Structures are given as structure tokens and as C-alpha cells.
Chains A and B, each alone.
Chain A
């Protein structure tokens, strides 16, 4: 017994030391990222832009196709498309791809936007499932609807790419509301950048609880329910301090599938979106990095914090757990498909910093966290860990987690300040504390399940229940 006990204790000793090292490294990484984000945001709030073009010169502005893949989006597709019609941009194509919806998505848009079938010639440069019919709107010639067999989000985006005739495309989710001037702000870096800008991401914020009029978010407000409120906090942290920081050193490995602008030809050159993964957005960005690095051309893939896209987040545990499970599988798949880039100096900062960080801390994070809890509990009950030390370590982990969240709120407060009501900002602060007690652990569990499902080769997307955007619903 003592021999087994010794072996187990030795394992726990080594494991605990590794967890401590891991804990130290991840937090150092986050602090560096926070510093980089602070610098980047400071720069962004100081700069000013104007109208990209005036009068007839606007025909020289790059044409943009907005691709909206839709699967069972009957509740939100009309308001989303209406918000896109309001966008302030001269050369625009609005392409909705109905990915074999089983609800009445296609009927809804057919009636609302007066669609009639047309014979649009596609440019089949990327593979996609069979297209049943293509429609154009009689009321707005910019709207094109591609009705196709179900093939998943990536496949729908590829179909949209085939029908697009624009220089750039913006991929968004069907439940998203894009702010009126966002497109100008996203396109501007393509025109003014000193290197070849191949991808730009904007910030995605939570629309649950916001005051929505027509198809526009009139006032950013916090949701009344706790689960969506915690996600508001999460989105702020992920976008303001995660992506802004990575963007600063041109190592951004992901641009959200809900709001990313890319060069059409370049994406077609690399074969469009990969359909075998549920992490098609991250995979695309990594492959773009790979393509540009291998070409040896200077390029930028960046994130800018002021163009805003509003999206609905799950308000039930069941849907949220499926979403996070899918995100984790997507991350695992994107990293697996591009594993040769991880730690490879040939790919510069993305190979040496961005991808290793995502592999060690984002992918393996839940495994370390959950196993850490398990080893901790076993050790405690075996009497190998003394109570004061246990309390100290748990407190340290909690305080660090809360600190990072509050620091990202501070970044928001001193830069973008989208929530005007002070009570909403106080509520956000509350969420920064609250999420560490229960939600964070549950979240780690969902992500771990995602990792397990990845090894079991699960390809399930998981369903998201949508509600109409009108009013202030959650």
C-alpha cells in the first residue's frame, strides 16, 4: 500500500508542480496580452476616419458581398437582412444561402423580399452541395438568395462565394445585426493598410436585452437573465483583450465567423472554407496565415474594435453547452488540420506564439483545469494537501480570474463604453465576479466534453433556438 501510495503521491507531486507552472504561464500570457490590447485600443480610440469616398469616386471602392448562411433562421432572417439593407456602403451584394432549412426560412424571405427565381451563373471554384434554386429580390437588386441542399455552415459559405462577384466578402451569422457604419470601418484598412490586408475582424457583442428598433440596436443594454449577462462579460474579454492583443502582433489565429471580412479571390485560391470542420472560421484564418507566409509576402490579418455586429447568445444551459462544445471541437479540428504550423519558425509569430498559445492554453486548458480539480480533491481527501494551502491556491486562482475580467472591463470603460447606463456597467462588474463561481467550472466541463467529442469524431453542430430581434427580447 505504501509503495502504491508513494507512486500516487509522486504523481500528484509532479502533477501539482506542472499545474502550478501552467497556472503561472497562462496568467503571464494573459497579462502580456492585456498590455498589448491596451496599447492597440489606445491607438484606435485616438485615430479618426472619415468617409471613404465621395460621389462618383465611390464606384472605385471595393465591392463587398455579405454572405449570410442560414439554417432554420425563420425567426431572425428578415430583421437581419433588413439591417444589412441599411448598411452605408456603395458597392454591396447581399447573398443569403439557405442551407436546406427544415423550417420556413426560404418562405419567409421569399415573401418579405419578393424573390423570383433567376438563372445566375456561378463561378464554381470551390466545392459545395447542389444548389436547388437561385433567387433575386425584385424590391432590392442587391439581394441574391441561394437555396441549396444541407451541407453545413462552411459549405453554405462556399456556395455563397461561388455566386459572389465582389472583391471582398463579409461572412456573418443570420441572427446578426450589423451597425450601419461598420462596413466602411472594416473596409478602410484594406485601402489604407501599408501591407496586404487579407482579413479583418470586428467586434461581436451580445444583442440579448438590447433595445432593438426595426433592424437597428438603438441602445446597448444588459440582459436581465444571468446566463446571457455572463456571456456579455465573456465576449468583452474575448474580443477586447484577446483578439485585440493578438492583432497587435499580427498573430491573430481567429476571426469570428459571425463578423469577418476577407479577400474573395484569396479565399478561393486556398479552396474556400473547409467543410469537414465545425471550426471553419478559425481554420480559414490559420490557412490564410499559412498561405501568405509560404508566399513570403508581407500581410496583415487584424481585428479592429469599433465596427460592431450584434448577435444573440444562448439563454439556456443546454444550448450554451452545445455551443461551447462545438467551439472546442472546432478549435481542436483547426489546430489538428494545421498542426505542422504549431511551433514552426517558418510561420513567424503565428507559428511560434499564436498557435502554441491556443494549443497549450485554449485547447488543453479545460483538461488541465478539470483534472486539476480532480487531483486536488483526491489529494485533499487523502490528506496530502493541507487545508490552508488548498484555500490559498483556490483563492489565488479565483482572484486572478476575476482580476483579468475586471481589467478587460476597465479597457472597455476607458475606450468604447458601449453600455451607457451606469447600472449596466455595475452589473457587468458583478458578472466578472459571479462567473468564477460555478459558471467557469461548468464551462471548463463543457469544453472538456467538446475535446472528448473531438476524439470521438463527433460532427454535430447543435441547435440554437432563435427569437425575433424586435423589442428587447432575450
Chain B
């Protein structure tokens, strides 16, 4: 047996030796590459910083906007290569004010505009992200078309860019939402809401047979301090999908006008606790005695989350709210104590 063991070692030995030599060679190579990379990155960082300083000190003034003709006349000396500059941006990850200034003044974004149709997804996505630092006026169509790009990352980059467009893009709402996965809907809505989509975009969503689209529509109808879509919201309070009804209740709070109160009164009587809880939260944003009255009723709800939201909202109403909270002291002592504490911390809803 011992002999067998030793024979095995003798048999394996010749194979192990080249492996050890090969791996040692590889280790040496990787170590050299690593050291060279460290040195190169250190040197190029210094070079980039010098270049950046030089550019900033230059008196050359160029730039207006992407559509301007005088951009075509910008001549860059050969050593001031765009790629060097882009490295500055990449290294910083988020552009600093200085790099944005150079980006504008030197007209580097011209290349980014052409990169919007580059075949590599990351070139298209990165160009979009940088272009937001200059005006995207005149690029409305390009950005809109990139929403339907084959790459997920480019589509997301286009979504991030929407806020920088001058006006709401010409989008087919159904096609727009179906271009993304349902799981991404809340992100789409977050990106669309600040753009204040108009009736022509919202109507197809509200009328859609797909709950997914009606849900998105219900959120987008809740534009802050904008009561013009209340009739749509009122219609959706009867929706068979509870998530749509919940979102309607949330949107009514964002609208925040007195006209939303009667609709909220209706949603506060919904069979679904999540809808009632959302209604309670929204009522806290509308200062009116009727809000307190409805909340006073919701504070006796069977479901904890509804009571919690009602007490929390009552804490926004100052003395009047505290009085209502006091009515429920005996049956909801902890919630009432918490809400009274909160009411002294929060400013009264204007």
C-alpha cells in the first residue's frame, strides 16, 4: 500500500510540476499587469487633472445648444481628445460642476449626440446620461425613440432623461407601458408624474381594460394641486381592481383640493382596508372640518392600518385634530398618545 502511495506521487509529480510552473508564471504576469495598471491609472489621473485645469483656464468660449451651427466650427487640438475628457466623467462617475462646465464649453456633447445611435448599448446609455447636462432641446425625437430601444439600460437611461426634455414627449401611452415590464410600472409613473401628462395621454390608460394600465393612470391623475382630472378619479373609484381604487385615494391627497373631499368621503367607505387607509392618509392633506369628521369615523375602523393612518392624519390638524384624537383615547390609548405627540411636532396643514 505504501508503495502504491509512493507510486501515485511519482505518477502525479510530473503533472503537478508544469501546473505549478504555469500558475507561477500566470501569477507573475497578473502581478505585473496589476502593478502596471496601478501605475497607469495613477499617471492618467494626474494627466486628466492637469488637462481639466487647462481646459477650465482656457478663455475659449464656445457652446450654446446642440442645434446651434457654431458648434460645427469648434476645433479641438488633437491632444484634447474627447475620450480623455469622457474618462474624467467616468472616473468621477457623477459629473462635477467643473466637468459639466468643460463639457459645455468644449462642445464635447456633439459626439454624444452621434453616440445616441451607436451600436454598443453602453455608448447610447452613457451619452444619454451625459447629455442631460446640456439642453436636450432639439433631441426630443431621439430621446423618445430610445425609450423603445432593444437594450433595457438604454430604455432606462431614456426614462431618466425625460425630465430634462422641454415638453411632454409624444408618446402612445399603451405602447409606452407595454414596452416595459409590469414590475417597472411604479418607476415609470415616478418618471412621468413630474412631466404632468395631459388628458390625451391619460384617457387611454383610464379607459383601458388592463388593470395594470388603469393603476398607472390612477397615480398619474394625481398631479399635485391640479384638480382638472377629478372627474376621471371619481370614475375610477368604482373600479373593480382594489389597487386602482387605492391609488385613486392616494392621488386625491396629492391633488389636495377641497373638490376632492366628496370623492375621498366615498373612498373612505370602501370595502377594502388598504383603500380606506389610503383615504385616511390623503384626508390629512386637505384642511377642512369635513376631513376631521371623516377621519374621526375612520379612527374607529376595525383594521389597524386604517386606524393608524387616521390618527396620523388627525395629528396634522392642530387643536381640532387633538380634540378628535381625544374622543378615541380610551379604546386606542397607544395610537392616540402617539398621534398627540406627533401633532405637537408637525406643522398644521395649511
Contact = CB atoms under 8 A, between A and B. Distances in A.
A458 B157 CA distance: 51
A7 B2 CA distance: 9
Interface in A7-38: 7, 9-10, 12-13, 16-17, 20
Contacts of A399: 20, 23-24, 27
Given A56-B193, A194-B183, 17 more contacts: A20-B12, A46-B122, A47-B153, A57-B193, A60-B193, A62-B186, A116-B341, A118-B337, A119-B335, A121-B308, A121-B335, A165-B308, A392-B16, A400-B23, A402-B27, A413-B41, A422-B38
Given A6-B1, A384-B2, A396-B20, A60 B38 contact: no
Interface in A321-347: none
Contacts of B191: 57
A60 B153 contact: no
A48 B125 contact: yes
How many A residues touch the partner, as a band? Answer: 35 or more
A61 B341 CA distance: 26
26 contacts: A5-B1, A5-B2, A7-B1, A9-B4, A9-B5, A12-B5, A16-B8, A46-B125, A47-B153, A50-B132, A54-B194, A56-B224, A116-B341, A119-B337, A121-B304, A121-B308, A138-B345, A194-B181, A386-B6, A388-B13, A389-B13, A389-B16, A395-B24, A399-B23, A399-B24, A410-B33
By Cβ-Cβ distance, the 7 closest A-B pairs, closest first, are A119-B337, A191-B187, A50-B160, A46-B122, A48-B129, A9-B1, A6-B1
Contacts of B1: 5-7, 9-10, 13
Contacts of B30: 403, 406-407, 410
A16 B156 CA distance: 53
A191 B184 contact: yes
B313 interface: no
B31 A406 contact: yes
Nearest to B160: A50
Interface of B: 1-2, 4-6, 8-10, 12-13, 16-17, 19-20, 23-24, 26-27, 30-31, 33-35, 37-39, 41-42, 45, 122, 125-126, 129, 132, 152-153, 156-157, 160-161, 163, 181, 183-184, 186-187, 189-191, 193-194, 219, 224, 254, 304, 308, 333-335, 337-338, 341, 345-346
Contact of B183 (A165, A193, A403, A417): A193
Interface string A404-419: 0011011001100100
A410 B34 contact: yes
Contacts of A136: 341, 345
A429 B31 contact: yes
Interface of A: 5-7, 9-10, 12-13, 16-17, 20, 46-62, 116, 118-121, 123, 136, 138, 141, 165, 191-197, 379, 384-386, 388-389, 392-393, 395-396, 399-400, 402-403, 406-407, 409-410, 413-414, 417, 420, 422, 425-426, 429
B121 to A, nearest CB: 8
Q: Which of A16, A20, A197, A422 has the most CB of B within 10 A?
A: A422
Contacts of B2: 5-6, 9, 384
Contact of A392 (B13, B27, B35, B334): B13
A62 B122 CA distance: 28
B23 A406 contact: no
Contacts of B156: 49, 192
Contacts of A425: 38
Contacts of A60: 186, 189-190, 193, 219
A47 B17 contact: no
A402 B337 CA distance: 61
Q: Which of B2, B129, B333, B346 has the most CB of A within 10 A?
A: B2
A301 B277 CA distance: 30
Contacts of B254: 56, 59
A261 to B, nearest CB: 16
A191 B186 contact: yes
Nearest to B223: A56
Nearest to A193: B183
Nearest to A60: B190
Nearest to A123: B304
Contacts of B338: 118-121
Mostly helix, strand, loop or mixed at chain B's interface?
A: helix
Q: Which of B4, B190, B333 has the most CB of A within 10 A?
A: B190
A194 B38 contact: no
Contacts of B219: 60
Contact of B194 (A56, A123, A195): A56
B267 to A, nearest CB: 18
A402 B23 CA distance: 10
Contacts of A119: 333-335, 337-338, 341
A426 B5 contact: no
Nearest to B344: A138
A189 to B, nearest CB: 10
A10 B27 CA distance: 35
B58 to A, nearest CB: 26
Contacts of A386: 6, 9-10
A123 B334 CA distance: 12
Contacts of B9: 385-386, 389
Given A60-B190, A392-B17, A413 B38 contact: yes
A408 B172 CA distance: 47
A41 to B, nearest CB: 13
A218 B103 CA distance: 26
B196 to A, nearest CB: 10
Contacts of A12: 5
Nearest to B94: A181
Contacts of B333: 119
A396 B13 CA distance: 12
A50 B20 contact: no
A13 B8 contact: yes
A409 B6 contact: no
A47 B38 contact: no
A194 B84 CA distance: 35
A426 B35 contact: yes
A414 B37 contact: yes
Nearest to A8: B1
A54 B37 contact: no
Given A60-B190, A121-B334, A392-B13, A193 B184 contact: yes
B337 A57 contact: no
A191 B334 contact: no
A410 to B, nearest CB: 5
